[in-house]
Structure 1
Amino acid sequence: MPHFFPERNIRNERAFGFMERINAYPIDQNRYVQVALFCFVVVTICFSGKYTFDPNLRHINYTAPEVVRSQQLWAEKNNDGMAQQYYASVATDLDTALEQLVQMEQKCDSLRKAGLIGSYQKTSVLLPSLQTQERRVAHWNSYFTKEKQAQVLQNLRQACREEGVDEEMYMPFAEVMSADYAPSLILEENVIPAQMSSILAEQVGNYWLVYMPLKMPQENLVATNDAMDAVEGCMVLDPYYYSTNLVELIHDDFNRILLISSVFVLIVLLLSFRRVLLALIAFLPMFLSWYVVLGSMALAHQTFNIINIIVSSFIFGIGVDYSIFIMDGLLAAARGEDTKRLRYHKTAITMSATILIVCMASLLFAVHPAIHSIGFASVVGMVTTMMLSYVLQPCLFNLAIRNQRIRKSWGIKETTDKR
């Protein structure tokens, strides 16, 4: 960019003078600032392991209080104040899905006895499987034998003669009673109207889904979903249930990725500075800032979710830049190469951090809980990263160059103005 500006366009000293005067203050030598920053970092790191992560994507959405109250009224009037959740038995053929449905209903019976659910719809009563029908037909035939059928017909004819009723009127009944029946799937026989059958079961692609609604207290929803999901062939018809598992996996992978990124950044710093101690001093502020954010979220009772934990991770990347710039300025000043470089770097960092803090702080006024938490985590992370780079890094650097051997290995001939 500087190559596109004319030579007469010089820097406005008045515009940058105030900011440079602030940066010229040796904040890293202020004992009160050092103690306050040290206490804050130690306390937040101690609480960093107590942060909470909410994988439920339902809580990311914002629902107006009026809508929440309307939903509660609807549940009270229609579901006895309970939450209603649908489940489906999924299989490639209808009969297998109906057989799995029986196992799901058995599970529901145990859940109801345990007090987890209130009631559920027994879809298998309307849609029995072929195996169930065969068992019922065999039970009926073993009970209503040919002899009993003949006895019923004989009693019927005798009653007709006594009452003067034509026996032929009951011949269709006799045919139905003595006929041989084979199991059949009710849905395939089109006995149930299509408008009603779609509520009970439907075919989606190559799969059949047989539905079963359950009513349960809202606090038992997760436990019930876990119990029903363990049944073979059962699908929880709630996209948030499966996305929650995915978010938990992403959270675990995110921690792993963050660790790998940290190691990679440390390796790059080692290759750049070619000194282990220099790389560690530059790496420490960005490393600590992430744990400070975790501890601050725990102390403020702010919950991490899939959105703010990813968005807030940009603090780590910004901390890399700030640490490298500060270290470059400290080395240049200590080696006597350029005593103004650190001041210029601080001015650039201050402008960058100020703009980002103002922008992210505006999110604190959001009513949406996820957006509000993004603003909180970002502001805390930015301020912490900036203060650690301005205070901790120079303190450790100046402490290290007191050693003659370290000063010589870093190319510092004499301890002039270390700033």
Structure 2
Amino acid sequence: TAVMLLYARPEFNTDLNAMNTVSSSTVAADHLFARVWGNITGKNYLMISAPSITKIRRLDDKLLDKIERDRQSGLLAASFVPAMIFPGAVRQSENFAAWQAFWTPERVRRLKKSLLADSRALGFAPGAFAPFLNSLRLKAQPPAPALSPRFYSLMGISRAATGPGLVQFITMTPGKSYKARTFLDKYQVYGKIFEPKFFAKKLGELLFSTFTRLFIMIAVGVTLLLFLVFLDLRLTMITLLPVIFAYICTLGTLRLIGHPIDIPGLMLSIIILGMGIDYSIFFVRAYQRYRSADNPSYGLVRMAVFMSAASTLIGFGALIPARHSLLHSAGLISTLGIGYSLLGAFIILPPLLKAQFAPRAVSLPRPDKMSADIIRRRIIRRYQLLEAYPRLFARFKTKLDPMFDHLPVMLKDCRPMATIIDIGCGYGVPAAWCLEYFPKAMVFGLEPDPERVRVAALVTSNRGQISRGWAPAMPPTGNKAADCVLLLDMLHYLDDNTLTALLEKSRQRLRPEGILVMRYAVIPPGRPSWFWHVEDLRIKFSGMTPYYRTIKEVNDLLLTAGFTVDIHEVSAANNELVWARAGVNT
């Protein structure tokens, strides 16, 4: 990469000819034709318009004066203006004055003497040149010759396609000192100009600048989108590295082989960016999910990326031998860009991802130093390598949910716990809190959603075991009696029979001195909050029925299941939530 970086300075070719599909032999034949017969495509065209032929001829007179001066300066080599044959009134007066100034009496006398002598010797009649000689002695300007409509097409004049009036096309051949900008500044005041080479150059520059801006906008947009998806600057940069590597190596290779970046190559650079980012995203998200390159599922993703890139490389690689410049350039640049993107994904990403997702050891403060803020930061740290949604969920839940202020109160006076069961553990935030609050505890969770099971298992790591299942099932604990069973924010999902069975199983799994901690939603006495309505609608839209119970109903269920209720009160922070703590009735 360092070597390629030295040669990665791009060279651009904005010539539109780079976009044609003509073979090199045809281009050579075209150049030969131009050298022999002249370059018929190298002329400039000026279109002027006027309401009448009289005004057309006046414009021709002015143009002819300017063209004659520019031919002398070398700006133009040749041109034809109808005023050369059919001058207007102004031009005719100038021509007549020049005619009279040139044919002085002395010149007329010598011409007449020489012409009469030579014509007699050649056998011409005595008066054969009389009309010409008489024209040399004209004192009054003859009338301007009329331009008949039958000569319009010959003079490049035609009726306007829309509306009344006439249009005229004048051709001009550039000279040795020709400069397109100077030519345009001088002649664009007369009408519309078509300058093929300048037009092609400006169009090429426009296309190049447009696609350059488009490429920059897409690159910035992709970077922002990646950051919004990952919400992790380091992971965003890791994802972009193979693409950056691909562009550096592609530019370096093109410079080494002497192939500039043409317009087709610039257009394809956007496709290369998109495909290269795809490869990186697949690798990064797969590693983020499976956490090991040895995982069989990660191997499937890797093989899918390879097959996708290989099929694309075969398609673009087949264009490289093409004799047409457009196809050859498209095949070469695409093959290099996609090939280097694939190489970067397979070589650069694995070691970086392994380092990024390696477990990080955290020194555990002594229990008397485990403040609420320290616990919160340590919980968030457990989620820092996960996807954005569970990471944000944990951050906002620990910050906004008063649960973590009440849990220490509910667990006050409890001995250090070793085994905790969390029913409906979700993404594992309460489980993570328990692991931080009780440094030697193990958490066994139960959750029906497979994605949440995966996240909770990663969060609890080797200090937890998360199973997928529905209440009233209980997670396996390896014949260990539980010190605590957590039923947090999940009672309203269960009907009475299921809840009764769950409470009975919870009592059976608890130690004699174990406790049951619950938080459940109730219908508030006043107007429910918008959050309560959102949760209620979410449950109904998912096809389930919410079961809201009063404090007395839950208390009766606990007593029936064999619990002794120690605490049962409405949350001070939210009157829509109720906390309960119960011990086993021995």
TM-score range, shorter chain: 0.5 to 0.7
TM-superposed deviation, 1:72: 1.7
Q: Give the counterpart of 2:319 among 345, 351, 363.
A: 363
SS state at 1:120 partner: strand
TM-superposed deviation, 1:288: 3.5
TM-superposed deviation, 1:269: 1.0
SS state at 1:48 partner: coil
Instruction: State the match for 1:126 in structure 2.
Output: 85
Counterpart amino acid of 2:344? L
Q: Which runs of 5+ in 2 are unaligned?
A: 51-55, 110-125, 363-380, 387-457, 463-586
Residues 105-144 of structure 1: pairs in structure 2 closer than 5 A: 105-111=68-74, 119-121=77-79, 123=81, 124-137=83-96
Deviation per CA, 1:270-309: give whole Å up to 9, x if none. 1111211111211222234234323322222113322232
Q: Give the counterpart of 2:270 among 288, 308, 313.
A: 313
Normalised by the size of structure 1, how large is the TM-score? 0.66
Q: Distance in 2 between matches of 1:84 and 1:324?
A: 50
Deviation per CA, 1:127-165: give whole Å up to 9, x if none. 535432343456678999xxx9xxx9xxxxxxxxxxxx9
TM-superposed deviation, 1:362: 0.5
Q: Distance in 2 between matches of 1:54 and 1:351?
A: 34
Counterpart amino acid of 1:409? Q
Q: Closer, same or farther in 2 for the Cα pair 1:143/1:375, shift >3 Å?
A: closer
Contact conserved, 2:11 with 2:260, CA < 8 A, in 1? yes
Q: Give the counterpart of 1:103 among 42, 66, 74.
A: 66
Contact conserved, 2:19 with 2:263, CA < 8 A, in 1? no
Q: Distance in 2 between matches of 1:318 and 1:243?
A: 31
Q: Give the counterpart of 2:237 among 275, 280, 296.
A: 280
Measured on the aligned residues, the alpha-carbon RMSD in Å equals: 4.1
Q: Which runs of 5+ in 1 are unaligned?
A: 1-40, 153-164
Instruction: State the match for 2:353 in structure 1.
Output: 397
Instruction: State the match for 1:264 in structure 2.
Output: 221
Q: Distance in 2 between matches of 1:290 and 1:273?
A: 23
TM-superposed deviation, 1:349: 0.5
Q: Structure with the greater relative contact order (CA < 8 A, sep ≥ 6): 1 or 2?
A: 1
Structure with greater Cα Rg: 2
Contact conserved, 1:98 with 1:127, CA < 8 A, in 2? no
Contact conserved, 1:89 with 1:98, CA < 8 A, in 2? no
TM-superposed deviation, 1:395: 2.3
TM-superposed deviation, 1:374: 0.9
Indicate the structure with greater strand content. Answer: 2
Please state if 1:304 is matched with 2:261: yes
Indicate the structure with greater helix content. Answer: 1
Contact conserved, 1:56 with 1:240, CA < 8 A, in 2? no
Q: Distance in 1 between matches of 2:70 and 2:268?
A: 41
Please state if 1:72 is matched with 2:72: no
Contact conserved, 1:366 with 1:372, CA < 8 A, in 2? yes
Q: Distance in 2 between matches of 1:404 and 1:384?
A: 36
Q: Closer, same or farther in 2 for the Cα pair 1:299/1:98, shift >3 Å?
A: farther
Give the number of aligned pairs: 336
SS state at 1:88 partner: strand
SS state at 1:410 partner: coil
Q: Distance in 1 between matches of 2:144 and 2:18?
A: 44
TM-superposed deviation, 1:179: 5.3
Q: Closer, same or farther in 2 for the Cα pair 1:135/1:410, shift >3 Å?
A: same
Q: Give the counterpart of 1:372 among 328, 346, 361.
A: 328
Q: Distance in 1 between matches of 2:208 and 2:27?
A: 30
Residues 34-183 of structure 1: pairs in structure 2 closer than 5 A: 41-57=1-17, 60-63=20-23, 65=25, 68-69=28-29, 72=32, 75-76=35-36, 78-79=37-38, 85-93=42-50, 94=56, 95-111=58-74, 119-121=77-79, 123=81, 124-137=83-96, 177=138, 181=142, 183=144
Q: Between the two proteins, what is the percent identity of the paired residues?
A: 16
